[in-house]
Amino acid sequence: MPARLVMKFGPMKGKVFPLDGDNITVGREVGNTIIIEDKELSRHHARILLSNGVYSIEDTGSTNGTFINEQRVTTAAPLRSGDVIALGEVTFLFEIINLDPKATAVSLKRAEVRSSLEQKTAREKKRPKPGGIGISGEDVDIGADVVGGDKVVSNVYNYYQSPSGGKKTPLAKEIARFLARAAKSWLIWAALAVIILGVVGWAWYQQQPVSVAGCKSEGNYIILVGQFEALGVAERPVGRFIVDDLKQKLVTGLPPVNFIVCEYPRALKNDAEALAAAQANQADVVVWGNYTANFIEAAIQVGDTSSLVIPQDVLAKTANVRVRMTDERQDSISRHVLAVFDIIFMGRGGVYEFMQGSVKVFPIPPTNVQVISTGVSRYTYEFTNLFTSDTEQALEQVNQGLEMDAGNPILLILQSGALQRLGKFNEAMDSAEAASRLGPANWPPPFFMKANRGLFTGNYDEAINYYSQFIAVRADDWFPYTMRGYLWLMKGDLAQAKADIDKSLSLQPAENWPFTWAVSIALRQGRLAEVKQYVAEAMTRFPDAEAGEKAAEIIAAQEINPFTPALSAFWSMNQGLFNKAIQKAEMATLIDPKFTDAYLIAGLSYCNLDKLPEAEAAYTQALTLEPNFTLLYLLRAGTRQGQGNLNGAMSDLGMVQTSPQAGQLNEYVQAAMQGKLSCKNALTYTP
């Protein structure tokens, strides 16, 4: 009872392995009956036995296990035709080949009859025909179209020489018969050639990737989903359900991220086909797989790698993940697709894109989808799921990944990020330094991670140095200019801060962060008209102010650095959420008591809640830190005037009138004296 294995997932997808013998060994080392060069297989992984007509399989101490229909094999287990065998990440279909003994006997009998007829025909060819040429079977073999030319010509000349000088003889008939037979033979061969070329051409065409209409789109993230292959079951539209789910979760459910989901018209059967299809459609991620009656297996892999900084093989082993689900109508792989995108962003060097991708994973609820990858990508996926909710556990996951692949620069950056969130800045720096040595020289994430130590510990010069290196390798990215501008602002260098923030704004930022610091700089320089423009533009472009706050939380937990709560406080205030703004501002001052902007935001928020004493106290604290911040005197004058402290109000207005910004703020001072300007409308007042 012969049997075979058909590889369904793995490096030789589609290859058939006959099971010849009663003891078949499988592994990656030379000497096994079946050798599979896959790192997830052990050197001696499993053994297939045949005893009394029954096949069975047993694990031979492999690292990643042997499974039959998702059940791990611990002892020898019987095999049935149609069973799915998984060795690590390599999947086979076990098939028993049923042969009919009677049919075999008939075939042998037919072969004997055919041989007898061929021998009889050969004997007749050697026999001279009456009145014929007398060409032997050795000279002309019509079946093979081989002609012994010299003897043919001699026999023809001797037999058909015409004594009458041009009289038509039987030679013409014999030549016509010969040519007709030859022509017939060539027509048959020509027809066969056309058929073969057609079959080969169609097979070649079927292997060429298809360009899906409307899939290529500049500035969007493309997901290509192939048709899923049915394994021994009736076909059903698995791929279509996956496409619809991804569109609902990622296209409709996650604005403003620009995802496009495209349905590929063919089944993709291996990594190479999937990659070729992705490249033809400039798809960032490609999804493909197959299904049985019990489950669906999907491969989610990196697609077009033209914009990568990290080598493609490193990115693929870190990001590519295989999952198993049971119901394509209920289960969703959207979280897994986003996790792969997150690693792609990291591989491209897009630090902000990585943070944004991490934020987008969180709102999508997990479903009944099992990760069956056994390589480092399994730990990468778990890391992205746990990073903000349970950073300690996320760190444990990435540490396990590094045990498998200690030289992986992406894993080292993830490790550095987790350590930073936990406040372990020196350990985080060590991981970032290792990633810098192992990754490409023009890869920005190590510079970002190293800059963060200075950001979180108040060593702004160190942070500025690393952000300058970041900018040197990625000069067209708004993000490092924003961060360096913020650091210049913290150092009090308004000219450098303004230059970097202006550059960031010119590069079309993807978040409201640079607008925050543009407002802060303009307030210090007395450019109140520009403040209104910045706020209006930011509120129009980024109505969801919380998105920026969530992305900032990826850098560090709110209790580590005032950057994140300050962003939240400022945009909460502009949305009229004054109590939240006060709460976030106070959080920022607890982290850094010298953070002037937090007191400014608290004062404006208290003022709008008619809590004038609290507002005055906040402005006074800010002036203690920055006595040259002229606008603060104008704002405090409003609170004092509202409380009936006219002398105090006039004293503050006098400070404005004698400052270098007197000319810029004169109309505001006059409005305050006339009662037209108060601390409530100071930032929105138009002279």
- Comparing 89-98, 215-224, 291-300, 545-554, which segment has the lowest mean pLDDT? 545-554
> Which range among 6-15, 115-124, 476-485 has the greatest average pLDDT?
476-485
Provide the CA 20 distance to its chain's centre, in angstroms: 41
Predicted local distance difference test score (pLDDT) of residue 398: 96
CA dist 10 and 39 (Å) reads 11
153-190: per-residue pLDDT in tens?
A: 444 444 444 444 444 445 566 666 666 666 666 666 67
- Structure-model confidence comparison of residues 362 and 409, the more confident one: 409
CA dist 508 and 256 (Å) reads 14
- Structure-model confidence comparison of residues 643 and 559, the more confident one: 643
- Residue 13 phi, psi dihedral angles, 5° rounding: -55, 130
| Measured CA distances, 165 to 159, 161, 162, 493 (Å) | 15, 9, 6, 117
Answer yes or no: is pLDDT of 151 > 50. Answer: no
- Non-local CB neighbours of 302 within 8 Å, separated by 6+ positions: 284, 285, 312, 315, 316, 319, 320, 340, 343, 344, 347
Helix (H), strand (E) at residue 23: strand 23-27
- Determine the CATH number of domain 3-96: 2.60.200.20
311-336: per-residue pLDDT in tens?
A: 988 999 999 999 999 999 999 999 89
Answer yes or no: is pLDDT of 116 > 50. Answer: no
Angle (deg, nearest 10), helices 563-574 and 545-555: 180
Count CA within 13 A, CB hemisphere, residue 626.
Answer: 26
Predicted local distance difference test score (pLDDT) of residue 167: 46
- Confidence class of residue 552 from pLDDT cuts 50, 70 and 90? confident
Model pTM score: 0.73
| Measured CA distances, 416 to 278, 403, 413, 435 (Å) | 31, 15, 5, 9
β-pairing, 146-147 vs 140-141, is antiparallel
- Comparing 16-30, 235-249, 668-682, which segment has the lowest mean pLDDT? 668-682
Predicted local distance difference test score (pLDDT) of residue 485: 97
Please state the rounded mean pLDDT for residues 365-375: 82
Residue 179 DSSP SS3:
helix
Answer yes or no: is pLDDT of 203 > 80. Answer: no
Q: Does 3.30.70.1400 match the CATH number of domain 488-674?
A: no
Answer yes or no: is pLDDT of 557 > 60. Answer: no
Please state the rounded mean pLDDT for residues 390-415: 94
Please state the rounded mean pLDDT for residues 639-647: 93
Answer yes or no: is pLDDT of 144 > 80. Answer: no
The amino acid at residue 47 is R
Boundaries of CATH 2.60.200.20 in the chain?
3-96
Predicted local distance difference test score (pLDDT) of residue 176: 64
CA dist 519 and 568 (Å) reads 14
Predicted local distance difference test score (pLDDT) of residue 284: 92
Predicted local distance difference test score (pLDDT) of residue 172: 60
Answer yes or no: is pLDDT of 131 > 50. Answer: no
Please state the rounded mean pLDDT for residues 652-667: 94
Share of the chain above pLDDT 90, in %: 52
Angle (deg, nearest 10), helices 494-506 and 478-491: 160
Tokens of 274: 């999937």
Supply angle C-alpha 254, 258, 263, rounded to 5.
Answer: 95
Q: Is-contact 299 320, C-beta < 8 A?
A: yes
pLDDT, averaged across the chain: 83
Answer yes or no: is pLDDT of 501 > 70. Answer: yes
- Confidence class of residue 384 from pLDDT cuts 50, 70 and 90? confident
Closest listed residue to residue 227, CA positions, set 261, 268, 273, 262: 268
List 167's β-bridge partners, or say none.
none
Left if phi > 0, otherwise alpha if psi is -120 to 50, otherwise beta: which for 252?
A: alpha
Closest listed residue to residue 303, CA positions, set 319, 291, 289, 290: 319
Boundaries of CATH 1.25.40.10 in the chain?
488-674
